[in-house]
Structure 1
Amino acid sequence: MLNRLPSSISALLDSRTEGHSLPAGLYTRDDVFAADLDVFFHRHWIQVGLECDVPEPGDAVTLEIGSASLILLRDDDGEIRVIRNSCRHRGARLLDEGRSIVSKLVCPYHQWTYELSGELIHAPHMGMDFDKSCRSLKPVHFKSIGGLIYVCLSDDPPADVAMLEAVMEARLAPYDIRQAKVAFQFDVVEKGNWKLTIENNRECYHCSANHPELCVSFIDLDFGFDPASLSPEDREEAERHQALYDARTREWEADGYPSAAIEQLAGNTTNFRTQRLIIAGAGESQTPDATAASARLLGTMTRKDAGDTHLWGHNSWNHFMGDHAVVITIVPLAADRTLVRTKWLVHQDAVEGVDYDLDKLTSVWLATTDQDSALVERSHAGIADPAYEPGPYSTFTEGQLDNFVTWYIERLRAHGY
């Protein structure tokens, strides 16, 4: 007798067992992928870039999100804008994907010309009575939160992004990411579903066996453990570590660095979590020896031991340290393909070879990204196997995965699936 699989997305959602990974079809099916793009990448706030991606007037970056194309630019007045990359004549793309320097936005097809504000200023051969004022380029809802650019492609963006904005403007202020610069960017296309990329990021169950470089600065106790499996000595160590966290958090906050964990996860529309984490070893930065990679600290930072302010959303994760920041965003390309874009930020006046060594700056997350890419590919291949059936999450180390997929199902349901 054939195994009858749920035919609709709603039936797939119904078949999920609480505390378990998702049914295979929610990772592998093309109709689910289309729904994911529509709901999570068009109707929710997503992190797409940085103010410092476009440091000067005329700088522009084109971003592709499914069939949608956006232009992030800095206009002639130095203001950030995000606009649709579609000419108001017959829809042709204005700019190719990647970086550009422009004085005007000129459509290559029929030379309709726009100011960097999006205003149409030239439409040849359209007649004297043609009204250019109603043909400006379409703007996109966006927010710069501490220098991180979030967009929502919906006409009705979720209002609860206000919590993210309020929390992170204060936390990111000392790093002054708006005035940082991108020292390096690395793109990789993972051979797996975007949700597997996010799930992999939200647990460190796999870290000790797969990320030797990252574990120099990460503390495994931060990511959960089974108390019953610990020896009396390890249990005492865990208790000491928690006491240290409590003390360090009080110290950081007394010095003006907000640090306590803040979460807006399942039960909300906009998904994020932030906390200042202790850095292991030398305690300064996510580098091969956990010491600072850059002698020139970010923004107004005066200390190298202020931990790692981590921030994640449903398409991003970020680490802000005294000397540099690592900003990672993802964009789904297909049900089994996900773009992972990593940027390393340093102070805008830091000089490579003088203030920082590029290899020391980037090597930990380059290695970690490659390792994670292989793990996501391995996971997706296994889920696509007919033998796959959803397995239970560890309540000790994978609670945030259960939280994420619960939120994922809630949001699909909220949009009619």
Structure 2
Amino acid sequence: MRPSSSKTHRELIASRQPGFGMNGALYSRQDVFETDMEIFFNQHWIQVAVTADVDEPGDVFTVDIGKSSVLILRDDDEQIRAYRNVCRHRGARLKEAGKSTVGMLVCPYHQWTYDLDGSLKHASHMGKGFDPKCRSLIPVHCKVVGAHVLVCLGDNPPEDIKDLEAVMGPRFAPFDLANTRIAYELDYIENGNWKLVMENNRECYHCAGTHPELIVSYQSEDLGVSLEEMSDEARASYDAYQIRKAGIEADWANSGLLYETVEHLQDDAPTQFRTQRMIIAGAGESQTLDTQVACRKLLGNLTRRDLGDTHLWGNNAWAHVMSDHAMISWIIPLSPDRTLVRTKWLVHRDAVEGVDYDLQRLTEVWVATTQQDAALVAITHSGTQDPAFVPGPYSTYTEPYVDQFARWYTSRLAAHGV
């Protein structure tokens, strides 16, 4: 048998047994990583920001994605736009990664100057024959869904983004996420491949044993269970919860709140997403240690606290939106074994720290969960590189979406000729 180091990308994918994990080389090889970046982070829709990152006209958020760099900005008409962070003269970066506020975008090299609509407004000493209209910034396909800012760097962005917009538009509407501000943001580097980060996020098999803070707000019955292994007592508790759950969902429906699970998870669908309104345990209000709201000023014009957790995950992101705040995370791969996990906590624009909320209480659950997940990803990445590693089977009860992720990964590579 040829060693994994000499197999082609296609051979490594084909070696996966249905229902089992992927070959360890798919998490470590540089050539695989470069292909992943080109296909999944250039040709697909990915999240790169939240609307509050560019809150006012002239705000710029620069994001590096592999060799590419993108300027996310809000123009004078309050529209969010995206451009390649490349001067049309000799290619200099216009802005370093991070946030800034500008009147116009000025290249630091030769001071070519661009308006917020991307048009070139000033380029000295270029001669009378020079046409600035041909040197506007290169636009990037950009969509805003709730607070999510998504881009596609490819020339032909997948059209099924319209399905995400159609489903999540009305679900996010009551929270008025455009009218939020960032209460806290956290960048965390996980020492593992991006696929392992996403696999970890798509199952909660590990939650009870590793996330004591998060599990407080989760109903164990919603995390995937094996009914055939339940004791009579556990089954009675499960059945009782299903009755209570139906009552809560009926109440939400009577209030015009969407709660049904929607899955856009066909293996060949470029834009993957899954959403549901999850019941919060305990007081039923928010993902805090006491399950009560962390921010007394609710999002939008909401007056009701017990709205559950509108949960969404997509190609490279996941979000939890509750009556009082939203927690939105996304990833950007840095290398085969390093992944940036970027998280923002959003509150009502008018919420005041120390008055309406305590920052530690608002963030402590997901700060702890992020650190715990990082440790899990690191030990898994390390283990997949051990010569003794042989992929094991997924749990059909608690890991079906990990298996689906592997199928999607395979399908999308094939669609791009890999």
Match in the other structure for 2:167: 167
Give the match's secondary structure for 1:214: helix
Q: Does the 8 Å contact 1:329/1:342 carry over to 2?
A: yes
Tell me the equivalent position of 1:377.
Answer: 378
Give 2:278's aligned residue: 277
Find the counterpart in structure 1 of residue 415 from structure 2: 414
Counterpart residue type for residue 310 of structure 1: H
Q: CA deviation at 1:3?
A: 4.8
Structure 2 residue matching 1:213: 3-state secondary structure: helix
For 1:18 and 1:31, the matched residues in 2 are separated by: 24
Number of equivalences: 417
Deviations 1:360-390 (A, max 9, x none): 0000000000000000000000001111111
Report the Cα offset of residue 101 of structure 1.
Answer: 0.7
Amino acid corresponding to residue 349 of structure 2 in structure 1: Q
Judge conservation of contact 1:88–1:137 (CA < 8 Å) in 2.
yes
Distance in structure 2 (CA, Å) of the matches to 1:49 and 1:12: 33
Is the partner of 1:328 in helix, strand or coil?
Answer: strand
Q: How far is the alpha carbon of 1:240 from its aligned partner?
A: 2.0
Residue 121 of structure 1 aligns with which residue? 121
Give the partner amino acid of 1:283: G
Aligned residue in 1 for 2:221: 221
How many Å apart are 1:5 and its aligned residue? 5.7
The residue that corresponds to 1:95 in the other structure is 95
Structure 1 runs, 4 residues or longer, greater than 6 Å off: none
Deviation of the 1:151 alpha carbon? 0.6
Letter in 1 for 2:93: R
> Residue type of the partner of 1:37?
M
Alignment match, 2:352: 351
Report the alpha carbon displacement of residue 244 of structure 1 after superposing the two structures with TM.
2.5
CA shift, 1:301, in A, is: 1.8
Q: How far did residue 314 of structure 1 move?
A: 1.8
Task: Report 1:148-159 matches (<5 A).
Answer: 148-159=148-159
Q: Distance in 2 between matches of 1:364 and 1:199?
A: 20
Listed as ranges, the matches of 1:187-336 within 5 Å are: 187-265=187-265, 266-336=267-337
Verify the 8 A CA contact 1:50 1:178 in the aligned structure 2: no
Check whether the contact 1:59–1:99 (CA below 8 A) recurs between aligned residues.
yes
Q: Secondary structure at the match of 2:187?
A: strand
8 Å contact kept, 2:268–2:412 = no
User: SS at 1:263's partner residue?
Assistant: strand
Which one-letter code corresponds to 1:49 in the other structure?
A: A
Cα offset for 1:2? 7.2
- TM-superposed CA distance for 1:4, in Å, is 6.4
Aligned to 2:58: 58
Cα distance between partner residues in 2 of 1:386 and 1:339: 27
Identity of aligned residues (%): 54
Offset of residue 303 of structure 1 = 0.9
Please name the residue that 1:29 is paired with: 29
1:204–1:220 contact (8 Å) kept in structure 2: no
- Cα contact 1:304–1:322 (8 A) shared by 2: yes
- The CA distance in 1 between the partners of 2:116 and 2:147, in whole Å, is 20
User: Is the CA contact 2:4–2:12 (under 8 Å) kept in the aligned structure 1?
Assistant: no
Contact 2:302 2:323 in 1 (8 A): yes
For structure 1, the 5+ residue unaligned runs are none
Taking structure 1 as the reference length, what is the TM-score of the superposition? 0.98
* Structure 2, gaps ≥5 residues long: none
TM-score normalized with structure 2 length: 0.98
CA deviations 1:137-169 (Å, max 9, x no partner) are 011101111231111111101111111000000
Moved more, 227-236 or 273-282: 227-236
> For 1:359 and 1:2, how far apart are their aligned partners in 2?
52
